[in-house]
């Protein structure tokens, strides 16, 4: 039993519905070349995918990898199948300990990564402030362990020639596959959360090991990625799918699942999803679990924390007194205790308040929200105090 989000994740670039244009362009990039002369994958620079959450960056990356390395990678599956794509890319999940000599002392880092013969997928910012070492040491080591070294160009050439000489019957297509086997793709997630030093080291690593490894970077906001990294990559903007595209995807899933869709339901889910495809599919599935067959005006299940935040907003609007501040504070702490990130609470609260305030105050509330978002959890209470005085 899989979630629909995973079950219906498109496996190939051709099957992607929401970002057809990007997929077509990527296809040109990842095409298995017909002759060695057009090893297009090879002289492409690194890729940087950026876009809001739930817009399909990871799906595109995985589909691209499959396109590049072909169905050859799609054989036996591993035992740790947490994600569906592990099943079709022959990937294994590994928890690796790294011991790194920093010169003065040894540090130990534990990092979870997905490995296949052709790619490594990891989240370097997990290492916190030590992410620099991940980039410097681990990536370097992995890139170095490939059969191609830093002066890789010549060796690749020699290897290919060797292959040709030894197996003269090998046709060109197979040869390119051999050629591709020498290449390692590193998928790094959340590069925007990498520290400045981490990003700095990334730049040079990218250039130095360009012969043996390709980097694919994913992030939410490219403003937080330094100019130096951005200028070394092919930037691919993955926009959030439009509502029409979401509707199309939902209908596609409905058809696959043999569901009877009442008119307007998919449109409502799409409108409710904030252009987040993942969220749309999840709430679609929740609807299915809640009540099937669907009715025309079926209620969409709201997320409980969102409801809670909008309650807080209306509390604030109703009365502005120290007593109310105290009760609001309690409610916010309850949200925080339940592990809702403060930034998300603040944004949601802002959008709720903006619906209700008069225009002059909107400016003020917006300003303070932008001001406080950098601060710590504890200050959230004060944000509210400010809001209250504003409304007064």
Question: What is the footprint of another protein within residues 147-206 (CB under 8 A)?
Answer: 152-153, 156-157, 160-161, 164-165, 172, 175, 179, 197, 200-205
Which residue's CB is nearer to another protein, number 116 or number 201?
A: 201
When asked if residue 38 is in the footprint of another protein (CB under 8 A), the reply is yes
Within 54-93, the residues that bind another protein by CB under 8 A are 55
User: Given 3-state DSSP classes, what are the helix, strand and coil percentages for the chain, each rounded to the nearest 5?
Assistant: 55, 10, 30
Which residue's CB is nearer to another protein, number 178 or number 329?
A: 178
**Given 95, 258, 297, 359, the residue binding another protein (CB under 8 A):** 359
Tell me how far, at minimum, the Cβ of 332 lies from another protein, in Å.
18
Interaction mask 7-26, another protein, x per CB under 8 A: ------------------x-
Using alpha carbons, select from 125, 101, 122 the residue that is nearest to residue 196: 125
**Given 149, 181, 306, 364, the residue binding another protein (CB under 8 A):** 364
Q: Please tell me what DSSP assigns to residue 14.
A: G
By CB under 8 A, the count of residues binding another protein is 83
Which residue's CB is nearer to another protein, number 74 or number 172?
A: 172
Which residue's CB is nearer to another protein, number 49 or number 294?
A: 49
CB 222 within 8 A of CB 48: yes
Half-sphere exposure of 64 (CA within 13 A, CB side): 30
CB 90 within 8 A of CB 111: no
Within 268-307, the residues that bind another protein by CB under 8 A are 274-275
The C-alpha atoms of residue 60 and residue 48 are separated, in whole angstroms, by 12
Using alpha carbons, select from 215, 245, 216, 244 the residue that is nearest to residue 50: 216
Which residue's CB is nearer to another protein, number 304 or number 374?
A: 374
Tell me how far, at minimum, the Cβ of 217 lies from another protein, in Å.
13
CB 108 within 8 A of CB 98: yes
Within 213-272, the residues that bind another protein by CB under 8 A are 221-224, 227-228, 230-235, 237-240
Half-sphere exposure of 143 (CA within 13 A, CB side): 27
Distance separating the N- and C-terminal Cα atoms of the chain: 53
Tell me how far, at minimum, the Cβ of 388 lies from another protein, in Å.
12
Tell me how far, at minimum, the Cβ of 274 lies from another protein, in Å.
8
Which residue's CB is nearer to another protein, number 5 or number 236?
A: 236
Q: How far is CA 258 from CA 41, 288, 317, in A?
A: 39, 12, 45
Name the H helices within 234-321.
243-256, 265-272, 277-290, 304-318
């Amino acid at each position: 039993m899989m979630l629909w989000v995973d079950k219906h994740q498109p496996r190939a670039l051709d099957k992607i519905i929401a970002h057809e244009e990007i997929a077509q362009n990527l296809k040109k990039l990842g095409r298995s070349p017909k002759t060695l002369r057009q090893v297009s994958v090879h002289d492409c620079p690194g890729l940087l995918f950026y876009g809001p959450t739930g817009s399909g960056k990871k799906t595109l990356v995985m589909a691209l990898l499959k396109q590049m390395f072909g169905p050859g990678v799609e054989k036996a599956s591993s035992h740790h199948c947490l994600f569906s794509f592990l099943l079709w890319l022959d990937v294994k999940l590994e928890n690796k300990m790294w011991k790194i000599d920093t010169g003065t002392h040894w540090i130990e880092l534990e990092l979870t990564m997905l490995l296949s013969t052709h790619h490594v997928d990891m989240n370097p910012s997990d290492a916190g402030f030590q992410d620099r070492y991940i980039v410097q040491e681990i990536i370097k080591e992995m890139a170095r362990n490939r059969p191609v070294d830093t002066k890789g160009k010549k060796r690749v050439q020699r290897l290919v020639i060797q292959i040709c000489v030894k197996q003269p019957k090998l046709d060109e297509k197979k040869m390119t596959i051999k050629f591709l086997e020498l290449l390692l793709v590193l998928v790094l997630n959340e590069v925007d959360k990498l520290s400045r030093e981490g990003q700095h080291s990334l730049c040079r690593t990218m250039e130095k090991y360009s012969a043996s490894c390709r980097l694919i970077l994913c992030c939410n906001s490219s403003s937080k990625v330094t100019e130096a990294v951005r200028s070394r990559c092919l930037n691919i903007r993955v926009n959030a799918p439009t509502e029409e595209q979401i509707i199309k995807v939902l209908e596609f899933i409905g058809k696959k699942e043999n569901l009877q869709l009442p008119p307007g339901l998919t449109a409502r889910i799409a409108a409710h999803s904030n252009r987040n495809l993942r969220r749309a599919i999840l709430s679609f599935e929740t609807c299915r679990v809640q009540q099937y067959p669907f009715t025309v005006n079926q209620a969409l299940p709201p997320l409980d924390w969102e409801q809670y935040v909008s309650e807080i907003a209306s509390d604030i609007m109703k009365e502005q007194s120290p007593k109310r501040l105290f009760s609001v504070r309690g409610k916010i702490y309850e949200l925080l205790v339940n592990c809702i990130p403060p930034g998300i609470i603040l944004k949601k609260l802002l959008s709720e308040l903006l619906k209700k305030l008069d225009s002059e105050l909107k400016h003020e509330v917006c300003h303070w929200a932008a001001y406080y978002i950098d601060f710590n959890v504890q200050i959230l209470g004060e944000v509210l105090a400010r809001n209250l005085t504003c409304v007064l």
